[in-house]
Structure 1
């Protein structure tokens, strides 16, 4: 992983994951920023800051918020089907409002920033192909399955606590949730038709070790990058 870089007066610190990711970041053609509903990190202020940062740093940026498998996740965590659906609708509606407002405020003309729900990609041929590859890899490649399970473990530990033991249903729902997001870490350029793209997230993920490893298997495309994006020192977190 390359060392972090911070441009003067930036509100965020971007740490490209590899040297090639750094090249993609410096090209500044496109960034994709994933937003999870119900995650307190993505406050209205944080999203406003992210939108302003992205509008300055990249030619284009897309914010993507998760709206698939959300109700299933709540139900697997113990909510009744009706309560799970209501909670999912409320959280997705809230994050959509925050993301759309942040993009409109930072880019009033709509020339640089765009936002999408994850479900919008389900009719995209490139996304469908990549999603199929991800699901197949989880089922057939032990390394991919182990990495996916590590991600689900991190997520469920935050929901169940360190002493909680996830059920098979909870693990499967988390796998479905993760698999829906992975195509955007593999080849956003193919999905959105951009020359190169940097997928930005605020935490290091086990997934990156796999996607940017040498050799064959489930790997990020040459023009797909990844960066850890965190508030710069002194910024409110």
Structure 2
């Protein structure tokens, strides 16, 4: 089922994700550094959209392993560190500007870096579980490899093959984000949560499948949220309920 608001189309991944959306407890909006999609105007629009339905809103931007990614893509370590610092400063500034412009009445919107949760015991446990399953579960590792291909494919010049260093850096970047796709309620101590992004994550099908293995918590949902004017893709339609 696709739910259209005034500005955004919201596609819960499954019927259970739809139920979690209806509960309206909390929404987590993940923001990637260096992604032009997340300009201040878009952040403001997302803030207004989220404030209209959810009791609590968090923006979390990825700031772990960003320098390692730039280094793996060919920058010197010094240049990679400077570029990462510049991009992270810029993305935080854009998020804060967008949230301030939206100024949702009576709602606190948190803006946090992923690294701020490094000492969170639930985040630490989930991250250890991710690392364990990467090392021991072939199906999970293949799904993560698909995410690596998706993430790095457009960033490699001239269709060059991916190096072991690039794959390792990207896996570390993804593994740092995954706890919030598994159990945001546990990390942030909220009743339930919907993690949102503007694309369907390749790992989603596995995390919300029945059976054993690494799975999202029951009160964790995932949804694709995109501007209403942007058309749906086949990947977005697949498995959307």
Q: Which has the higher contact order (CA 8 A, sep 6+)?
A: 2
Worse-superposed segment, 175-184 or 154-163: 154-163
Taking the TM superposition and a 5 Å limit, the aligned residue runs for 1:116-131 are: 116-131=112-127
Return the TM-score normalized by structure 1: 0.94
Q: Pick the aligned partner of 1:221 from 217, 220, 232.
A: 217
Partner in structure 2 of residue 5 of structure 1 = 3
On the 8 A contact 1:107/1:113 being kept in 2, the answer is: no
Partner in structure 2 of residue 23 of structure 1 = 19
Partner in structure 1 of residue 129 of structure 2 = 133
Structure 1: distance between partners of 2:183 and 2:159 = 36
Worse-superposed segment, 43-52 or 191-200: 43-52
On the 8 A contact 2:48/2:104 being kept in 1, the answer is: no
On the 8 A contact 2:47/2:104 being kept in 1, the answer is: no
Q: Pick the aligned partner of 2:148 from 144, 148, 152.
A: 152
Answering whether residue 45 of structure 2 is matched by residue 49 of structure 1, we say yes
Structure 2: distance between partners of 1:233 and 1:173 = 34
Unmatched 5+ stretches in structure 1: none
Answering whether residue 162 of structure 2 is matched by residue 166 of structure 1, we say yes
**Structure 1 residues 116 and 110: alpha-carbon distance in aligned structure 2, compared to 1, 3 A threshold:** farther
Worse-superposed segment, 51-60 or 220-229: 51-60
Return the TM-score normalized by structure 2: 0.92
Partner in structure 2 of residue 99 of structure 1 = 95
Structure 1: distance between partners of 2:62 and 2:106 = 21
